[in-house]
């Protein structure tokens, strides 16, 4: 059966026609397809619309950089470039500098990475190489799902649960150790650099495990099988074959995790003690760039003081951009701004003669086996006239008696997997246990009571968060979709630069985006508003949407688009009838992930929202830092509602992304 397009304006013909093919009586049915409609206005609008979406996204990226630069210009002009490294920071005497805060940020981040990197790498090895397939898939899904836990919930848990525990047991014990105790000397307050580092390590573990596991899983299966064929144990395969091959991806995972913890502000501000002094002990208080911005911005007066606080954000912005660019470059294995190949667009395919590729021996990597190496001592098994042989070269020490060491290493990786998931599961369980008795119907339906008035509920905050997220979706979804279609339709240097900007903007601290919304919306309107808060959340959502939507659009087979184009469909008709319906599950998953991230953000709302009762995250931050038990119970109840919303959105996103993959399999 053959479909033939009918020429426009032709006479009416029967829908089917039978053509005789000879004496055998076979017939060929020819379907006359209706002529495609003219392109019309929509096709002429589609191209400029994608350019408009790309321009809006580029404007957001440029706006973040320009607003930070202009807002901090007065401080850099007043204090000279030494503002970036001077150690004299005293807001009470109008002495502002970032040197001491950079030191606190580096010490806290380095300690967090020192705690998280071994645990995360061991957990990723266990998930990729040691744990059975179904159990590994379930464990990785749980860890990635817990990555969506909002930082304000982690900070509340650390402030009310871990801080007394550290002051009573952990810090005195570490201070009593013979050699390590010097780093933990002095009185134990609870809020400290050590506690902030532990909180950052817990927050970065899911990201580190997910990225490192992807790098380990990308190692070809033949490498593992070849080493096992030479008699290697499972741990020898991991140590000599998998880890050397996945080293660039693991480095990229650690670097991106570093960028994740470098810009965290809210959770650190709640547990670090906020004392901008030289860190003499890890059990003492300290301060970072993010925590200083959280504590000083609301009290800073317009002019030099506010410009100095924005200068802290400028230094933090440059640090995080540099780290994220390095991480993305390591992860991609090439220049981040290199253009993608043009093979994704539908085009006429031409048959190409296939020729066998000559395999090259792999050398210089311990634990690898060589393919295609010519060995005169080994006979060729089934070789042709060329006599190409296959020599398996065993690395030194392979197959020796190392089973006890391998079993010990495997046990350590399994223990790391348990240590990775235990804090996150304990956080969720403790939040449910503390909030469930305080959660009631009256708490959900009553508005937030004024400060000092007993009673009240959280309905104002719940409705306010829903309103902010709804407005942010209206702002972000069109830009994210059109910008992703632009990246798909226009492969080249410009698209590569926009793709690089999306990756970098996704790693920018949310507190920097909050300052951008303050400079771009709050100052011109002379007041905080829902529009300013939603604009900040939209800027956080757009880069996630752009990258997720682009991958979803590219997942649609090119053959389907070529078939639609062969039937006379315009480019807009192909996108509307083929590309968008085929990529709908991926689009929904990406938007839900972006929505889950925005729902848990607190730092941007500090500068853009009129009152804490207008959002759940702000209400948790305000009530959780008060010493009253009633306020803390209400904060736990709000945290549970927020946690359920965020985890539900993340689960829906995973389900939306998993269903088409499972159906295709």
For residues 3 and 163, the model is more confident at 163
For the residues 572-576, what does the mean pLDDT come to? 87
650, 148 contact by CB (below 8 A): yes
Per-residue pLDDT at 486: 93
Q: What is the DSSP string of 607-633?
A: HH-S-GGGSHHHHHHHHHTSS-HHHHH
How many Å apart are CA 534 and CA 598, to the nearest integer?
Answer: 9
Of 608, 461, 459, the C-alpha closest to 530 is: 608
How many Å apart are CA 10 and CA 32, to the nearest integer?
Answer: 11
- Name, of 73-82, 374-383, 535-544, the range with top average pLDDT: 535-544
3-state secondary structure 170-216: HHHHHHCCCCHHHHHCCCCCCCCHHHHHHHHHHHHHHHHHHHHHHHH
How many Å apart are CA 125 and CA 217, to the nearest integer?
Answer: 9
Centre a 10 Å sphere on the Cβ of residue 272 and count the other Cβ atoms it contains: 25
Centre a 10 Å sphere on the Cβ of residue 404 and count the other Cβ atoms it contains: 8
Per-residue pLDDT at 87: 65
For the residues 446-474, what does the mean pLDDT come to? 85
Of 272, 120, 140, 282, the C-alpha closest to 201 is: 120
How many Å apart are CA 431 and CA 517, to the nearest integer?
Answer: 31
601, 537 contact by CB (below 8 A): yes
Per-residue pLDDT at 52: 93
Q: What is the DSSP string of 92-108?
A: GGTB--SHHHHHHHHHH
For the residues 584-590, what does the mean pLDDT come to? 85
Pairing state between β 2-5 and 27-33: parallel
| DSSP code, position 273 | B
- In DSSP terms, 5 is beta-bridged to 33
- Residues of the chain above pLDDT 90, percent: 14
How many Å apart are CA 575 and CA 350, to the nearest integer?
Answer: 24
Q: Which two tokens stand for residue 264?
A: 């965290």
pLDDT, one tens digit per residue, over 516-559 is: 999 899 988 888 889 999 999 999 999 989 988 888 888 888 88
Name the helix (H) or strand (E) containing 29. Answer: strand 27-33
How many Å apart are CA 533 and CA 616, to the nearest integer?
Answer: 13
Burial class (CB in 10 A: 0-12, 13-18, 19+), 511: buried
How many Å apart are CA 558 and CA 632, to the nearest integer?
Answer: 55
Per-residue pLDDT at 41: 52
95, 276 contact by CB (below 8 A): no
CA atoms within 13 A on the CB side of 71: 29
167, 389 contact by CB (below 8 A): no
- The mean pLDDT of the chain is 78
Of 537, 626, 545, 662, the C-alpha closest to 160 is: 626
pLDDT, one tens digit per residue, over 16-57 is: 333 333 444 444 444 444 444 554 555 578 888 899 999 999
Of 393, 406, 391, the C-alpha closest to 367 is: 393
Name the helix (H) or strand (E) containing 18. Answer: strand 16-20
Give whole-number Cα distances, 457 to 32, 442, 643, in Å.
Answer: 66, 7, 17
597, 540 contact by CB (below 8 A): yes
Q: Which two tokens stand for residue 518?
A: 């303050």
Residues 6+ apart with CB under 8 A from 137: none
Q: What is the pTM of this model?
A: 0.79
User: Tokens 């573990």 map to which residue?
Assistant: 205
- Residues of the chain above pLDDT 70, percent: 79
Residue count of the chain, please give it.
665
Of 104, 112, 541, 524, the C-alpha closest to 315 is: 104
Q: Which two tokens stand for residue 477?
A: 């979804």
Centre a 10 Å sphere on the Cβ of residue 68 and count the other Cβ atoms it contains: 24
Per-residue pLDDT at 469: 92
Per-residue pLDDT at 108: 92
| DSSP code, position 448 | P
pLDDT, one tens digit per residue, over 203-235 is: 888 888 888 888 888 888 888 888 888 888 888
Least confident of 94-98, 285-289, 466-470, 493-497: 94-98
330, 248 contact by CB (below 8 A): yes
Q: Which two tokens stand for residue 421?
A: 């998931």
- In DSSP terms, 16 is beta-bridged to 31
Per-residue pLDDT at 533: 92
603, 469 contact by CB (below 8 A): no
How many Å apart are CA 91 and CA 422, to the nearest integer?
Answer: 40
Per-residue pLDDT at 395: 52
User: Tokens 């808060």 map to which residue?
Assistant: 533
Of 503, 492, 502, the C-alpha closest to 344 is: 492
Q: What is the DSSP string of 386-444?
A: T-------PPTTTTSS-HHHHHHHHHHHHHHHHHHHHHHHHHHHHHHHHHTTT--HHHH
137, 210 contact by CB (below 8 A): no
401, 395 contact by CB (below 8 A): no
How many Å apart are CA 55 and CA 58, to the nearest integer?
Answer: 5
φ, ψ for residue 108, nearest 5 deg: -65, -45
Per-residue pLDDT at 59: 93
**In the structure, what pLDDT confidence band is assigned to residue 331 with cuts at 50, 70 and 90?**
low
For residues 519 and 134, the model is more confident at 519
Give whole-number Cα distances, 238 to 255, 612, 642, in Å.
Answer: 22, 50, 40
């Amino acid at each position: 059966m053959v479909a033939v397009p009918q020429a426009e304006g032709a006479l009416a013909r029967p829908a089917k026609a039978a053509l005789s093919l000879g004496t055998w009586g076979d017939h060929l049915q020819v379907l006359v397809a209706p002529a495609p409609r003219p392109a019309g206005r929509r096709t002429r609008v589609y191209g400029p619309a994608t350019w408009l979406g790309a321009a809006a996204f580029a404007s957001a990226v440029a706006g973040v950089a320009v607003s930070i630069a202009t807002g901090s210009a007065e401080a850099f002009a007043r204090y000279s470039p030494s503002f970036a490294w001077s150690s004299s920071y005293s807001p009470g005497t109008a002495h502002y500098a970032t040197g001491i805060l950079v030191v606190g940020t580096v010490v806290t981040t380095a300690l967090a990475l020192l705690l998280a990197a071994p645990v995360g790498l061991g957990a990723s090895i266990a998930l990729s190489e040691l744990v059975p397939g179904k159990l590994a898939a379930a464990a990785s899904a749980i860890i990635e799902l817990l990555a969506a836990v909002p930082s304000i919930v982690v900070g509340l848990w650390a402030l009310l649960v871990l801080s007394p525990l550290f002051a009573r047991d952990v810090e005195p014990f570490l201070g009593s150790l013979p050699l390590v105790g010097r780093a933990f000397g002095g009185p134990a307050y609870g809020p400290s650099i050590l506690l902030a580092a532990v909180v950052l390590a817990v927050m970065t573990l899911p990201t580190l495990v997910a990225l490192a596991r992807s790098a380990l899983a990308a190692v070809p299966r033949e490498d593992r099988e070849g080493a096992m064929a030479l008699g290697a144990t499972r741990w020898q395969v991991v140590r000599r074959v998998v880890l050397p091959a996945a080293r660039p991806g693991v480095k990229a995972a650690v670097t991106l995790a570093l960028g994740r913890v470098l810009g965290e502000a809210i959770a650190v501000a709640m547990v670090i003690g906020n004392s901008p002094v030289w860190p003499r002990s890890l059990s003492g208080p300290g301060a970072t760039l993010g925590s200083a911005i959280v504590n000083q911005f609301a009290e800073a007066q317009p002019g030099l003081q506010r410009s100095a606080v924005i200068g802290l954000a400028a230094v933090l912005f440059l640090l995080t951009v540099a780290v994220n660019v390095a991480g993305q470059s390591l992860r991609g294995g090439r220049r981040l701004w290199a253009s993608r190949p043009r093979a994704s667009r539908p085009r006429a395919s031409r048959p190409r003669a296939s020729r066998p590729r000559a395999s090259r021996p792999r050398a210089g990597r311990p634990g690898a086996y060589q393919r295609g190496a010519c060995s005169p001592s080994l006979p060729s098994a089934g070789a042709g006239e060329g006599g190409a042989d296959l020599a398996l070269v065993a690395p030194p020490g392979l197959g020796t008696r190392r089973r006890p060491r391998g079993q010990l290493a495997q046990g350590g990786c399994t223990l790391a997997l348990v240590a990775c998931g235990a804090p996150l599961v304990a956080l969720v369980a403790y939040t449910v246990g503390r909030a469930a008795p305080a959660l009631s119907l009256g708490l959900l339906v009553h508005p937030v009571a004024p400060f000092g008035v007993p009673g009240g509920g959280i309905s104002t905050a719940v409705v306010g968060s829903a309103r902010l997220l709804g407005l942010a979706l209206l702002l972000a979804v069109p830009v994210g979709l059109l910008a992703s279609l632009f990246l798909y339709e226009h492969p080249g240097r410009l698209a590569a630069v926009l793709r690089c900007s999306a990756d970098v903007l996704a790693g920018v601290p949310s507190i920097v985006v909050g300052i951008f919304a303050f400079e771009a919306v709050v100052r011109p309107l002379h007041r905080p508003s829902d529009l300013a808060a939603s604009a900040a959340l939209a800027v956080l959502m757009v880069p996630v949407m752009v990258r997720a939507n682009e991958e979803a659009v590219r997942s649609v087979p090119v053959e389907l688009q070529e078939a639609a184009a062969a039937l006379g469909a315009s480019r807009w008709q192909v996108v509307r009838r083929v590309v968008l319906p085929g990529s709908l599950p991926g689009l929904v998953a990406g938007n839900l992930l972006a929505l889950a991230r925005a729902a848990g953000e607190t730092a941007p709302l500090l500068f853009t929202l009129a009152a804490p009762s207008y959002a759940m995250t702000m209400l948790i931050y305000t009530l959780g830092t008060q010493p009253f038990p009633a306020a803390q119970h209400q904060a736990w109840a709000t945290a549970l509602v927020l946690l359920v919303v965020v985890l539900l959105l993340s689960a829906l996103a995973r389900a939306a992304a998993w269903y088409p993959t499972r159906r295709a399999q």
